[in-house]
Amino acid sequence: MLMHLEAYRQRKDIHAALHAHPPYATALTIAGEEFPLNIIPEAAVALGAVPIAEYATMGTPALAASIREPIMQSNAICSAIMAA
């Protein structure tokens, strides 16, 4: 919840947050790979670059803080799910 509230604080144009754990995005994040935009044209147009937020423990203020910069760059963020 703190992460979603942080998105609302940082960007007044955000009126809803969608939180998901898609298996391929999760696997790419674990592997340290960037989210591919060449899979379908709509991904490149709708998403643009998808930054990866720094690792932080789920539900903590640190997780909310980890999206402060990426949320200003993109409408989508992959969250690092394991410490490097």
Quick check: helix, strand or coil at residue 53? strand
The residue extents of the domains of the chain are 2-11+22-79
Closest CA to 79 of 8, 45, 65, 16: 65
Angle among Cα 15, 3, 77 to the nearest 5 degrees reads: 80
Residue of 61, 62, 63 lying closest to 79 (CA atoms): 63
Over the stretch 54-80, which tens digit does the pLDDT of each residue have?
889 989 999 999 999 999 999 888 877
User: pLDDT value at position 55?
Assistant: 87
pLDDT, tens only, 2-36: 999 999 999 999 999 988 888 888 888 888 888 77
Residue 84 confidence (pLDDT) above 60: no
pLDDT score for 82? 59
